[in-house]
Structure 1
Amino acid sequence: MQKVVIIDDEPTTLSILEHAVSTLADVILVSQSTQALSSIRKTKPDIVILDINMPEISGFDVCRELKSSQDMRDIPVIFITSLADSENEQIALSLGAIDFITKPIDIELCKMRVRNHLTIQRQKKMLTDVNSALEAEKKQLAITLKSIGDGVISIDASGDVTFINPVAQRLTGFSEKEALSKPIESVMDLRDTATDEALLNPALYTLEVKRPVAMSYGAILISRHGQRFRVEDTASPIIDDDGTLKGAVIVFQDVSEAVEMAVKMTHLTNHDQLTGLPNRVLLHDRVVQAISRSFHSRQSIALLLIDIDNFKYLNDSLGHQVGDFVISSVAKRLNNIIDDRVTLARVGGDEFACLLTAEDSHVGADVVAAEFLKTAREPIEIDGISHQLSLSIGISLYPQDAVNAEEMMRHADTAMYRAKSKGKDRFSFFSNDLQRAMHNRLDMELKLRRAIEANSLAVYLQPKYDFESKHVVGAESLVRLIDEDGEVISPDQFISLAEETGLIHQLGKQVLQKSCEFVASCSPHTSDFKIAVNVAAKQLENPNFAAEVQAIIKGAGIAPESIELEVTESALMHDFEQTRLILESLSALNVTLALDDFGTGYSSLSYLRQFPLNVLKIDRSFVIDMDDEQQALDIVTAIVRLALSLNMTIVAEGIETMSQFNALQALGCHLGQGYFLHKPIAMADFFDKFIANIEVA
């Protein structure tokens, strides 16, 4: 456990500081400045928290004595000062202070400052220990070298091997007999680590320059058996007393383990120990690099700052072990959502950051943030008790609202606190414009969720006109959202959102339910009425979709023949085999299946052959242009003839003029719909206008 000495003559201040720091380290309280140095020398703390103004010996004098002591000068000092005490702060910094705790004392801020410096001290100690270990290893290697424990090879002036010791034999794979008199470059196969290109042997180079040389750290020795060793070496010329160059000697050692140790140290320096995620240092480096790349590619990057809501309460009430468990669990959940190339870092106690670049992720910051919020809401079980968590997320974008890494972090932090102020469990953009857009999106999602939960989605019906009987024989169900002010919101504004959020399944189910109930209400008046309901592509991804449709139809007590399901060409492309099986199951129920918007998508005739489709709908874009474009008329004519040849019912949508109506009727089109015939109207109005007065045969 780390130790902190707190020196202050005010009991109240000592009590507050002890409360703030006691959860981080062992605390030693000193109320008399005369005892400060002896207490510090005795306890050897990791940090000293020192008040400036004390009656006997001032904090400055204590610090001077401390920094002049050979065995205590490296102990960090944090001064306690007032908010506007800039003069004292300058003096304190000149004496070697590392930080300040301002009065009145903010316990949480104090705690964070001390925690950060304790972390730095731990890391410094780790680095010192590792460096000591490396230094000890280097000394041991030097001893080994003197004892001929390293590889040693000597050559003559021609470059041929004259001596090779056992270690060199092991590393090169050549025995003494095999190596002697061979050129050294054939015995020592040296390659560049990065490029694997052959390197000039230092022993040959030292013959040329006639002085000692050393090979670069990035060299690999490949033995004759294919083993690869990271090696370090020195080479020196052999010159006799007469100054004649007789040859050279190269001494080399296997440093593979040292390299591995350095790699591990780099990882420790740049990663959080609890979660294994990149830390703030590595994150900052990656943000800087991403900004540099973005400056040239002109592509945006996003930084998400993520904070666990109410973590302090959980940590304080249940203990730090539980707190660490929560942090580790959240880290795993967040990491499972993102791609391996995306940087997720732990930047503080309960704070994470996520860096999204165009190269690493093709998903928007809002989508990632929404997924983070969703996964955090899943209860976490601690000692058999489920706890509900939530996150607050702030998002900053470069170059839209920040010019450098530091500003991105600040802006993301500001946006995160904005999310907290709005009730937590949400995300917020720093940019006002983007924030407004996302607010509208969230507002629309909220309206949609409420409408689905309240079963208040409105279904409008657009009549389908039979060209032969000249009567309305059916309708297409079109969903509408009614907001609090009674304004009708068109599906263009919320269908794509419903698909993104997964609400499309509940929405589609509710529309089908209401459509079936409407058909049931029409049964006393007509038995031939058919209603068409649109099916989204994502609904067909549900393997139980056909069973759900069957249950709804059965529950409404209507004939399956009175329901027509419309699918688009694009919906058929997602999973060909699964879609075919679902459509076959629906067809087996005697539900009519229609291909909507034919001609605008892939228009593959294989769909008409391989899927059990009954109806072909001509897209409105062709119908609207029939009056003015011969090509549009030709396409409509071809589609009608194709459908008729396949014994499919043909429906034209988007009829807006009498000439379009007459042309479609002349072509032999079966059914039509459009504003020329009638616009979509509420179910009750449709019933009164087209159903109520039908006489039962």
Structure 2
Amino acid sequence: MLKDILHGCGQLFFAESAKEAIERLPNLLPDIILLDIVMPEMDGWAMCEYLKNDVRYAEIPIIFITGHDEQEFEKLSLELGGIDFINKPFNPKICKLRVQNHLKLHYQTKLIAQGREQLQKMVKQVPVLITYWDVDWRNLFSNDYLGTWFGVPHKPEDNIGMTTILPHELCQAIQSQATNNDEVNFIVEAKVNGRTRHYQVFQSPFQQTGNTGRYLVTLIDVSEEKEAKIALYSEKERLRITLNSIGDAVIATDEQGCITFMNPIAERLTGWRFCEANNQKIDSIMPLQDANTKRPLINPLYLALKEQRILTMALNCELVARSGATIAVDDSAAPIRNLDGEVIGAIMVFHDVSEAIATAMAMASKMSHLANHDQLTNLPNRILLQDRLSVACSAAFATNEKVGLLLIDIDHFKYLNDSLGHHFGDELICLMAKRLKALLPESYTLARLGGDEFVILMTGINSHESISGLADKIVENMHEQFKLAEQFYSVSVSVGVSIFPDDAEDTEQLMRHADVAMYRAKQEGRNRYSFFSDDLEAALLQRHQQEKTLRAALKDNNILVYYQPKYDLVSERIVGAEALARLQGEDGEIISPAQFIPLAEESGLILELGEQVLYKACSEAKRLLYNGANIPISVNVAAAQFNSPELEQHVQKALSEYGLPSFMLELEITETALMIDPQLTKKKLDKLKSLGISISIDDFGTGYSSLSYLKTYNVDIMKIDMSFIKDMLSNKHDYEIVKTIISLGQSMGLHLVAEGVETRDQRRALIKLGCPTAQGYLYSPPVTAEQFLSLIKSEQ
């Protein structure tokens, strides 16, 4: 009877005795157990107690089914852990409904447990201490399960007080600033394991009821930031004190020769106070004359500005002070350049020659240092590097040793510099120089060539292993994030390696080959190093030819656009397409996007390329609409294109020019581009969304996402990168990543698209996980516009 009644509820197994049931249970592990009371060998109550005492079966719901209808029987059954009691004879429909309801409850309980487990995993991985407290400051939750932060491992059920978990100073600061209605944000200092640490504390009330409050408190360790600020302040103060206390007079001007700074010595020698001389021309504050003829002399600072080079004062020169007294001086003037090498002013350093020859020698040494060192990082510049490189190669030739040259370039530095501003770009350069220097022994030279390029000169090398070991260490250490403007930023580097005398006969060739090797590292995906080889020069020539081809194609509007269809996984019908740029070489062959897209980014052509693809995709979408296909076309937006202030205007113009409904256009933006400036990103996305188009996050999971930012962005679609789809059925970690991304997207109400689907097994797995849409070679490779239209018509 039960078999007929419960048909369709699930797979049923029967046992005619408790002994048989106990033997079969380990292999079955059922979702629910229906249990009679009167049975041979062991009655139902004893069987129930046995099951509840075994951790393997304790959570399995038990429904008693019996002919006994006494209330005492039902009471005892429920007390022993049963969830329901069905009397015989029973109503078949009611019996089935009860079993179905309990199965639903059991399934929902399992889903809740899985959700909690996933949340626990996510919370454990964030580098933030997350805690939750009751009104008496007893802990209700903490993600510090292992006691990593303060050495006190605990679980929420421990219900221990704040002073047990956190340092005393930290407890006092949090409790004293806690509020019932407002959020507070403050920094506190506390000693942890004998070291003074600084923490950013965020406290907010949570689930208040009457006068009873609960508090959500998160902590971020900002000790390194604090120490960096202290070091930066000390450096600035050291520089100020140095300029004010040195024995030389210093005057700085803008590019017009108007004074912007004077130190006390300059005030004393000229007789002018800085507050009076500020913004005045230098020749009115520091008039010069020939000591013999008394004829006025041109201030060398003007020549330094005009000729953009360092100049020294003419011999036998006198300064006419404000009082009319004359002072024999010796000086030099040097232009001041910004990061782009543009002259933005000049600096004049002079002193009273009569006071001491030693002062003149010191000044000469200072000027020599300025000429041979980078002004931003104080590292050796190209001039000093070339000198040391020549000496190193000569010594290596004599001792039969090798010289290693590593050229380091920051990946995508231009985008970060343009987004954050040059001030933060300079700060990043300085932090990078500091980190690189910490990796090198004293015998090596770290130099800055300018921009975002560094060079490491390795001497006394006997094997390639030591060079590759250092290159490995450099690439790996760059993974640690840099903190700029209260935000963490991740950067990577590309490193080119050239070895003397293996790869080059002289220093010039050694530098050039390191540069070629560095470009190879960028072509291979960045975030890596590459040794020079003979075929690299040929590859560089090929790169120049491809750039020429790309420029010609853009000029003549000859960029090809292919379309890869997106399919509904269940119905297997086309529901969209991704527009993909293609470049045709002079020989008629299609050049791989993996070659010309990075080339377009490096050469600054990516904006023009993205604009051309956008217009062609809108034109094709209009043609599809004319043929009765309301299929949206998605267009990729590069990071530089997304940061362009003209993106919104281009999108609006393209929609208007082709009369295309906005729902037919979708922009695909990589998560890396979205993370550069979260506030600016949100404003830009809101503007784009106001046009009525859809926004997709491309290649999700491959960048450095911040979930706290992601939840605030106004996006519609999340694309799962093909790198995870490829091995999801053979690699447990990839499968769990895909599962987590789908779960995250569903929880945020985003439409999900899987990239790179190639097999039916992948399709079935994605359907089971809840992913509705996919694109990949299982259905179609990227095809021409005509081929894509044929696919649409064949479906129709």
Structure number with greater Rg is: 1
TM-score, normalization by structure 2: 0.39
